[in-house]
Amino acid sequence: MYVTLNISATSIRVLSVRGRQVKKWGSLPLAPGLVRDGLILQPKAVGAAINELFKSTKVAKKQVITSVTGLSFTYRVLSLPQMKSALLGEAIRRAAKKEMPLPLDELYLSWQAIGGGDDELDFFVLGVPRNLIDAVVQTLAEAGVKSYLIELKPLALARAAGREDALIVSLEPDCFDIVLVADGIPTIMHTITPRGEGASIEDNIQRLTDELSKTVEFYNSSHPENPLSPTTPLLLTGELSAEANTSQLIQAETGYPVELLVPSLKFPPDLPVALYAANMGLALKKVSQKGATRFRDINLNILPATYKSRILRVSWQFVLLSLAIGIGGGLLFPMYRLQSEAEVETICLQTEFSQVSQELHQVRLASNEATQIEDIISSMVDELGALKQEHQYILSGGGDFAINLDSVTRALPPQAYFTVIEMSTDQTTVEGEADDTFTVIDYVWALEEQGWLSEVRIAEIDETTITEVEVTETETIETEITVIPFIIVISE
């Protein structure tokens, strides 16, 4: 028996599965303000609601697999050379540090090998902000639920679909999830916030289809040899997918054939599948897939190792033996760790040495071909030519600068503003302030989605408190607000 729990800003949903058969399910609405953008703001209140839901559905609090709608995340597919398994973790962390927009000490990392050749392996590497996961664990503890497995909802949706190629859309009142599966792998995962109060379903479908168009355009530009087929199914799920005319409106706007997402589990006919597709995808994490499929499941547990506990029931003889082995291992572990670190460092130093050797070889060849004075003169001529070319480029490329400026300003979220923009021929540096860290991440994602930039990275992000002063006729009001200063470097 496995139990799945999905938490969103508006409700919590629980579903239990035995084998491949859905046994029980139920939901409970949440009061506004308890959860926002995937962050559980009040773990005690949400935990109490979860506890009440388990009681009302009579579902046991055992082996609970959890996901949170709207959870922020960052991910990359990294290619690494073949190496010893003991060195793999450190190598992935070093590569992720260069590729991911947030500092690693703010993320919980998890990864899975997804393919490769004889000389290298490809890894799907996922990073989730630590404060979000910490809040989930605290909430489960408040509910009396032992932390077992935590899953990213878009990955659960991809597993629930189980397709080789698909566009998956989950429409919830607080969050729209978009997942593009190509060649059996979730290639693009994106989360957007629907328009607020007063917006019609047509308004939000227009916002959704705009994002879908950008997602497909970005994928096709990155894979010109294998673009997404126009017959790729668009699989709908979520609370809002049940509204009248939703599927017709989406199909009319996108042109893709729209179907309802139906996971490969056995379930009673009265189960509202659209509401519980994510829960069923979580259950399939522990249930073998049926039928032949080229879908490659990204089955990660984003619960960090610090929260994982294991209870062993063993004899006292085994305890003594384990204690002896542990003491010996404790003495040897520092030496093993030093050896592993030394091997990683040796690989890095060998790479740097190779680069330096090549540069030194080039310098020696240059010194044999000309005298020191000729080198100086040649360098001065080259610099003068480069300055002339730069000058000519600036004179003739004013339109390009305007286009670049328009691109970086158009992608800026309304909750952020610029303080400084510096532009050169191949790089733009943006300094500004935002209301929270996730707004900065959304801005980076919006820039990356444009598809013509080679790199977008957060060079610096901080948190500071400022005081705003408002003077009225009777008093002076001082208000402290938190702002997030950031620096983003954009390379063409």
How far apart CA 295 and CA 183 sit, in angstroms, is 7
Q: What is the pLDDT along the chain (492 residues), one digit of tens a residue?
A: 899 999 999 999 999 999 899 999 999 999 999 999 899 999 999 999 999 999 999 999 999 999 999 999 999 999 999 888 888 889 999 999 998 988 999 999 999 998 877 788 999 999 999 999 999 999 999 999 998 999 999 999 999 999 999 999 999 998 999 999 999 999 999 999 888 777 888 888 999 999 999 999 999 999 999 999 999 999 999 999 888 788 889 999 989 999 999 998 999 999 999 999 999 999 999 887 665 578 889 999 999 888 865 433 444 554 455 556 556 555 554 554 555 455 545 544 554 544 445 555 555 555 555 555 566 666 666 666 666 665 555 555 444 666 777 788 888 888 888 888 888 777 889 898 988 888 888 888 888 888 777 888 888 888 888 777 676 667 777 778 888 899 999 887
| pLDDT recorded at residue 442 | 86
Q: What is the pLDDT of residue 375?
A: 63
Phi, psi of 120 (to 5 degrees): -150, 165
Question: Is the whole-model pTM more than 0.75?
Answer: no
Alpha-carbon distance of 453 to 447, in angstroms, equals 8
What confidence score (pLDDT) does residue 217 get? 94
* Fold held by 398-491: Gyrase A; domain 2 (3.30.1360)
Phi then psi dihedrals of residue 320, to 5 deg: -65, -45
| Domain spans in the chain, listed from the N-terminal domain onward | 2-307, 398-491
Predicted pLDDT of residue 50? 96
- CA-CA distances (angstroms) from residue 51 to 56, 133, 148, 410, 450? 9, 19, 16, 45, 44
**Can you give the pLDDT at residue 354?**
45
- Note the pLDDT of residue 327: 60
Distance of CA 298 to the CA centre of its chain: 13
Q: Side chain identity at 420, as an amino acid letter?
A: V
Taken as a whole, the chain contains a residue count of 492
Q: At what angle do helices 85-99 and 316-369 cross, to 10 degrees?
A: 60
What pLDDT was estimated at residue 417?
86
Both tokens assigned to 286 = 């522990």
3-class SS of residue 159: helix
355-366 residue pLDDT tens:
445 555 555 555
Can you tell me the distance from the alpha carbon of 433 to that of 282, in angstroms, rounded to the nearest whole number? 37
- The domains spanning 2-307 and 398-491 adopt the same CATH topology: no
The dihedral sign for the CA sequence 194, 197, 200, 206? negative
> Which CATH number applies to 2-307?
3.30.420.380
Residue 21 gets which letter from DSSP?
A: E
The pLDDT value recorded for residue 168 is 96
User: CB–CB of 279/25 below 8 Å?
Assistant: yes
State the CB neighbour count (10 A cutoff) for residue 352.
10
Among candidate residues 416, 420, 344, the one with its CA nearest the CA of residue 81:
344
Pairing status of strand 464-471 against strand 476-491: antiparallel
- pLDDT of the residue at 14: 97
Dist. CA 230–CA 214, nearest whole Å: 15
